[in-house]
Homo-oligomer: A and B are copies of this chain.
């Protein structure tokens, strides 16, 4: 399988696949003319990468999952390094959820106060002979 086909089957671009390669996540063989040649397993790898990216992982975080797949596991999640990343990410998300909740409350209160203030001003304005 050449890069164009893999890109299409994985729903991404050749540029992206070459980028993953520079980051050490995908390793194609090379044919005689220098073309990248991928086997079927790489499709799985690329899907894993895309899925984790979509969840908010960066490429460094994803590396253990790829290694886990490449080691022959049916899932990229089951290796200790992957589990460690999952734990860390879950903690990060929880943290972020907390802060975002705080921000939400701040915004909500701020909005409520601003609207209340505008109500008052509006009443004063309406009671004034304009």
Show the binding face of A for B, using Cβ within 8 Å: 55-56, 75, 77-78, 80, 82-83, 86-87, 89-90, 93-94, 96-97, 100-101, 103-104, 106-108, 110-111, 113-115, 117-118, 121
State whether A86 touches B107 (Cβ < 8 A). yes
Chain B contacts for A87, CB-based, 8 A: 111
- Whole-angstrom distance between the Cβ of A103 and the nearest chain B Cβ: 5
State whether B103 touches A100 (Cβ < 8 A). no
Chain B contacts for A77, CB-based, 8 A: 110-111, 113-114, 117
- Indicate whether A90 sits within 8 Å of B108 (C-beta atoms), given known contacts A83-B115, A100-B96, A100-B97: yes
Apart from the given pairs A75-B113, A83-B114, 16 other A-B contacts in the complex at a CB distance below 8 Å: A56-B103, A75-B114, A75-B117, A77-B111, A77-B114, A77-B117, A80-B118, A83-B111, A86-B107, A86-B114, A90-B107, A93-B103, A94-B104, A96-B100, A97-B97, A97-B101
State whether A78 touches B121 (Cβ < 8 A). yes
State whether B107 touches A89 (Cβ < 8 A). yes
Copies of this chain, how many? 2
What are 24 A-to-B residue pairs whose CB atoms are below 8 Å?
A: A55-B106, A55-B107, A56-B103, A77-B113, A77-B114, A78-B114, A78-B117, A83-B111, A83-B114, A83-B115, A83-B118, A86-B107, A87-B111, A89-B107, A90-B107, A90-B111, A93-B100, A93-B103, A93-B104, A93-B107, A97-B97, A97-B100, A97-B101, A100-B100
